[in-house]
């Protein structure tokens, strides 16, 4: 893949620069265990996902939306007989998530350091505004980025808008991310380049069943491998 | 006040272009009435405000944060004996708010139409990302704006960053808004101009007790009065 024309390297944040999905799955496991006397854990997980999908157009992405959906699911599963302590615990799970530590994936700082000399680096991430800002601050890598875009969604039109904002043509833009659905396919669709670095956990909503192949796309195992493509 | 150098007119959105605080106060009144058998309504309102202030650093602004704080307050007030139906109702209040209609204040469209010929118009607003985008879309005035900035806070440093992003000097920037604390004082502090249009309802967190006077600040009664200052 020839990245000669690229001048902006755009990174997804969650599960690309640092772990995020494990914190959601940990909270979900605690949530399902909490409701075990009402419903098998696997069924509770399905119910939670159903609530999340119903609420997505109204709540959007992020931990506050997830917390509200957990509470709503608990009320439904217990047929509105959930003890208040249970709701209290769920609120606590959400707060723990919002206070999660940020551990950068191995090689992230080196990669950003090397690329920042020759490219404009950008972050494009979904989620709660304040939460994503806080994570970036905690990460210690904010200074490498020319621009941080916190987006309510990552569809073709959202990337189109981002490129307009960055005054950048699609062939000058490469997106690095873990989600085929949110980071890779929409960027390929508008004519940009994409580097897919799968993470071992993927939220069901982001899962794409069919394999994706494209001449403007690379798949790598870890972020430190991207450097060789920018020589 | 001489606005000759101004090239960017920046508007706050909630309670400046359309009503917002009344929806919060309506939800709060329903919430306090719901808990009347546990605590006098006025005390519940104080408890809710206390919870909101405690959660602000973690949750930030917006309806999802407000809903989570209502639930937490209800659990505390009822000493964790809140019936699940009560929590369910609170979630419903939040969803109604997220689906609220947008009614522009009188004169808004005319003002934007007239100013858009000679100035770059910008929106700077706090709140949930998706919710603010949805309100702007519903409002029908999105096309007038060159840029929309949804901010996690509106302090001096946030405006400083916005101006950097807009490539605009402070004396080229005027902010129009209803909140002295969030729209007016920080903009004056960094050297910009400010037009204060008070709204009849103000959230306790935004209230400034002392009157503000400044040579780069105007106070007007309604938004249609701003046109005469841009002749």
What ipTM does this complex have? Answer: 0.92
Q: Under an 8 A CB cutoff, do B91 and A99 touch?
A: no
Residues B44-84 pLDDT 10s: 999 999 999 999 999 999 999 999 999 999 999 998 888 88
What is the Cα–Cα distance from B227 to B110, expressed in whole angstroms? 9
Task: Please check the confidence at residue A161 and state whether its pLDDT lies above 80.
Answer: yes
Read off the pTM.
Answer: 0.93
pLDDT of amino acid B144: 97
Give A228 to chain B, closest Cα distance, Å. Answer: 32
Q: Identify the CA nearest to A65 among candidates A43, A89, A40, A98.
A: A98
Give A231 to chain B, closest Cα distance, Å. Answer: 30
Residues B13-38 pLDDT 10s: 999 999 999 999 999 999 999 999 99
Task: Please check the confidence at residue A231 and state whether its pLDDT lies above 80.
Answer: no
Indicate the residue of A65, A80, A88 with minimum beta-carbon distance to B88.
Answer: A80
Q: What residue of B is the nearest CA neighbor of A98?
A: B58
H or E stretch covering B9: strand B8-11
User: Which residues of A lie inside 8 Å of B (Cβ-Cβ)?
Assistant: 58-61, 64-65, 67-68, 71-72, 75, 78, 80-85, 87-88, 91, 94-95, 98-99, 128-131, 133, 150-152
Percent of chain A with pLDDT over 70: 100
Q: Is residue A189 very low, low, confident or very high in pLDDT (cuts 50, 70, 90)?
A: very high
What is the Cα–Cα distance from A222 to A110, expressed in whole angstroms? 13
Q: Under an 8 A CB cutoff, do B99 and A60 touch?
A: no
Q: Strand locations in chain A, DSSP E?
A: 8-11, 120-126, 147-151, 173-177, 193-196, 217-219
Mean pLDDT (whole number) for A80-102: 92
- SS3 for B207-231 is CCCCCCCCCCEEECCCHHHHHHHHC
Mean pLDDT (whole number) for A142-159: 95
Q: Under an 8 A CB cutoff, do A58 and B87 touch?
A: no
Q: Is residue B43 very low, low, confident or very high in pLDDT (cuts 50, 70, 90)?
A: very high
Strand, coil or helix: what is A122? strand
Instruction: Write out chain A residues lying below 8 Å of B80, CB-based.
Output: 83-85, 88
> The tokens 């509470």 sit on which residue?
A71
- Structural domains in chain A? 8-18+102-230 (3.40.50.1000), 21-98 (1.10.150.240)
pLDDT of amino acid A211: 81
Q: Is residue A1 very low, low, confident or very high in pLDDT (cuts 50, 70, 90)?
A: confident
pLDDT of amino acid B183: 97
Residues A35-77 pLDDT 10s: 999 999 999 999 999 999 999 999 999 999 999 999 999 999 9
Q: How many CB pairs under 8 A join A and B?
A: 86
Mean pLDDT rounded to a whole number for chain B: 94
In contact, B178 and B198? CB cutoff 8 Å = yes
Task: Please check the confidence at residue B132 and state whether its pLDDT lies above 90.
Answer: yes
Instruction: Write out chain B residues lying below 8 Å of A82, CB-based.
Output: 84, 87
Q: What residue of B is the nearest CA neighbor of A77?
A: B84
pLDDT of amino acid A75: 95
Task: Please check the confidence at residue A91 and state whether its pLDDT lies above 90.
Answer: yes
Instruction: Write out chain A residues lying below 8 Å of B83, CB-based.
Output: 80
Task: Please check the confidence at residue B215 and state whether its pLDDT lies above 80.
Answer: yes
Q: Is residue B171 very low, low, confident or very high in pLDDT (cuts 50, 70, 90)?
A: very high
pLDDT of amino acid B167: 93
């Amino acid at each position: 893949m020839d990245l000669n024309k690229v001048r902006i390297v755009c990174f997804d944040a969650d599960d690309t620069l640092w772990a995020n999905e494990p914190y959601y799955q940990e909270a979900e496991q605690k949530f399902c265990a909490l409701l075990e006397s009402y419903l098998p854990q696997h069924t509770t997980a399905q119910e939670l996902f159903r609530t999340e999908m119903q609420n997505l157009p109204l709540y959007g992405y992020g931990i506050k939306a997830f917390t509200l959906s957990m509470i709503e699911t608990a009320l439904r599963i217990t047929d509105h007989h959930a003890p208040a302590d249970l709701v209290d615990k769920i609120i606590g799970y959400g707060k723990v998530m919002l206070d999660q530590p940020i551990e950068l994936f191995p090689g992230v700082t080196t990669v950003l350091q090397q690329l920042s000399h020759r490219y404009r680096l950008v972050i494009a991430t979904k989620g709660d505004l304040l939460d994503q800002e806080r994570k970036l601050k905690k990460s210690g890598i904010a200074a490498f980025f020319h621009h941080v875009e916190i987006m309510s969604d990552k569809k073709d039109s959202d990337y189109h808008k981002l490129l307009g904002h960055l005054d950048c043509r699609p062939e000058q833009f490469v997106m690095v991310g873990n989600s085929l659905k949110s980071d890779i396919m929409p960027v390929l669709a508008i004519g940009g380049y994409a580097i897919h670095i799968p993470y071992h956990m993927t939220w069901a909503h982001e899962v794409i069943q069919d394999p994706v192949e494209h001449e403007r796309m690379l798949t790598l195992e870890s972020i430190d491998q991207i450097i060789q493509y920018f020589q």
